[in-house]
Amino acid sequence: MKSIVILISGRGSNLAAILDAKLPANISTVISNNPSAGGLAVAQHQGIPTLAIDHNTFPGREQFDQALIAAIDLHSPDLIVLAGFMRILSDKFVNHYRGRLINIHPSLLPAFAGLNTHERALNAGVKIHGCSVHFVTSTLDGGPIIVQAAVPVLPDDDEKTLAARVLVQEHNIYADAIRWFLEDKLSVVNNRVHVRGVDSGAGTLLNPLAS
Q: Which of 45, 55, 75, 105 is catalytic?
A: 105
- Helix, strand, coil percent content, the chain, rounded in steps of 5: 35, 25, 45
The DSSP element (H or E) to which 195 belongs, if any, is strand 192-195
Query: Whole-angstrom Cα distance, residue 126 to residue 24?
Result: 37
Phi, psi dihedrals of residue 26, rounded to the nearest 5°: -95, 115
Closest C-alpha among 150, 153, 156 to residue 208? 150
The enclosing H or E element of 150 equals strand 145-152
Q: Which amino acid is present at 99?
A: G
Q: How far apart are CA 211 and CA 209, in angstroms?
A: 6
DSSP H helices in the chain: 13-20, 38-45, 61-73, 91-96, 117-124, 159-182
Does residue 105 carry a catalytic annotation? yes
Catalytic site positions: 105
